[in-house]
Amino acid sequence: MAQKLIIDTDPGVDDAFAIALAALSSDVDLLGVTTVHGNVPLSATTINARRILALCKRADVPVAAGAPRPLVHRSPHEAGEVHGSDGLSGRSAALPEPSRPLDERDAVTLLAELLEASDTPVTIAPIGPLTNIAALLAAHPAAAAKIDRIVIMGGALGHGNTTAAAEFNIWSDPEAAQRVLTGGDAPCVLVPMDLTYRCAVDAAWLDELDASGPIGAALHALTPDYRTHYRGALGWDGMVVHDAVAVAEAIRPGTLRTERVPVQVECSFGPGRGATLADRRLPALRAATDGAAPASEVDVAVDTDLAALRALLLDRLR
C-alpha cells in the first residue's frame, strides 16, 4: 500500500528537492502540502511549493498556507543568504505556474481534515520550522491520533548552522519544536544536520540530475545560489539536500538508522537558543542521575548507507 504523506515546508532549494522526491514517487500517496514561514516569507514559500508541484505535474495535491511567523517570539532573520532572495536561487518565476488555486483552508485545518479523513495512519514530514505542527497537535488531539510518524528535518547533535548551537528549523521556532518533540502526541523521528551533511551530493551527482530529463534539469536550475553557499560551508563543490534526506526516510521507513533518546529544545534567550539536547547517555546513567521520571523519546537519525541514499534520490528525481 502506498505510504500516505503530508509535507509541511518552507521552500527552500532542498525543500524543492524533497517535495519533488515525494511527488514523483509512485509508492507515495501525497495527500497535501502545507507551507510555513522559514527560509523566506510565507508568501514566497507558498508560491514556491505550488510551482514545484506544478513542475511535477501534481495538480491533484492541495497546498494550504500556514503560519507567517513563529508561535511566540519572532525570528531575527530568514535564510535568503542561503537559498537566494526568492528561496529558489532567484529562479522561482521560471518554474511552471500552478493551475490549481491555493487551498482556501489554512494549513492547520487542511492537516486536521486530511488526517481525520484518512482510514489508515499518515506520516507527516515537517521540513521547516515546526509552527504549524505544534498548532495542529495543540488544537486537534483527535487528528494527532491518526499520525503514524512525524519525520522532522531539524536539530544538531554537534554544532549548529544558524548559530554555534542551533540548526535553522529548530532555531526559527524553538517553542514549537519543544511542543512537538516532547509533547508525546505522536512518534517523532528527528533527522539532524549532522547526518544530512554527511549525505551531501557532489558536482557529478548534480550533473547527472541535470542531464536526466526536463524535471531533473529544472531542479538543477534552482541550485546556483544554494550551491555557492554550500561550496563555502562544505569546503568542496556540492550541496546538502537536508530535507530530501528526511523525506527519503518518510517514504521508505528504515532508510536511516536511528537511536531512541530523549530530546529537549533550549528555549532560553542565551547563546544556546534553539539547540536540540539529545540525551545519548547510557539509560542506566540517565536513570541514576535523573531519577525514574520517564522522558518522551525521539528516534534520532544517526547513520545511513550514503551511496544507496544518493542513488535513491537520483533515481526518484529523474
Q: How far is the CB of 22 from ligand BDR (least distance, A)?
A: 15
Cβ proximity to Ca ion, 154 vs 238, nearer residue: 154
- 299 near ligand BDR, judged by CB under 6 A: no
**Residue carrying C-alpha cell 532572495:** 85
CB 219 within 8 A of CB 209: yes
Q: Of 15, 86, 103, 297, which one interacts with Ca ion (CB under 5 A)?
A: 15
Name every residue whose Cβ is closer than 8 Å to that of residue 195 and which is 6 or more positions away in sequence: 245, 256, 301, 302, 303, 304
Size, binding site for ligand BDR by CB under 6 A: 16
- 12 near Ca ion, judged by CB under 5 A: yes
Separation CA 227–CA 13 (nearest Å): 10
Residue number of the CB closest to ligand BDR reads 168
DSSP labels, 144-187: HTTEEEEEEE---SS--SSSSS--HHHHH-HHHHHHHHHS-SS-
From the list 110-118, 166-174, 206-214, 308-316, the region that binds ligand BDR by CB under 6 A is 166-174
Binding mask 169-198 for Ca ion (x = CB under 5 A): ------------------------------
Strands 276-278 and 63-65: unpaired
Site for ligand BDR in 5-34 (CB under 6 A): 12, 14-15
Q: Give the CA-trace dihedral at 63, 129, 180, 125, to 10 degrees.
A: 50
Cβ proximity to ligand BDR, 146 vs 310, nearer residue: 310
Name every residue whose Cβ is closer than 8 Å to that of residue 163 and which is 6 or more positions away in sequence: 171, 271, 273, 274
CB 126 within 8 A of CB 177: no
Site for ligand BDR in 121-140 (CB under 6 A): 127-128
CB 27 within 8 A of CB 123: no
Q: Of 62, 128, 129, 262, which one interacts with Ca ion (CB under 5 A)?
A: 128
**Residue carrying C-alpha cell 508568501:** 43
From the list 62-70, 123-131, 191-199, 227-235, the region that binds Ca ion by CB under 5 A is 123-131
Q: Which helix (H) or strand (E) holds 44?
A: helix 42-55
Cβ proximity to ligand BDR, 112 vs 245, nearer residue: 245
What are the counts of helices (DSSP H) followed by strands (DSSP E) for the chain? Answer: 15, 11
Q: Which one of ligand BDR, Ca ion, none is in contact with 186 (Cβ closer than 5 to 8 A by kind)?
A: none
Cβ proximity to ligand BDR, 12 vs 216, nearer residue: 12
- 161 near ligand BDR, judged by CB under 6 A: yes
- 274 near ligand BDR, judged by CB under 6 A: no
- The verdict on whether 242 is a catalytic residue reads yes
- 178 near ligand BDR, judged by CB under 6 A: no
* Peptide bond before residue 12 is cis, with ω within 30 degrees of 0: yes
- Note the residues at the interface with ligand BDR (CB under 6 A): 12, 14-15, 39, 79, 82, 127-128, 153, 161, 167-169, 193, 242-243
Catalytic residues: 242
- Note the residues at the interface with Ca ion (CB under 5 A): 10, 12, 15, 127-128, 243
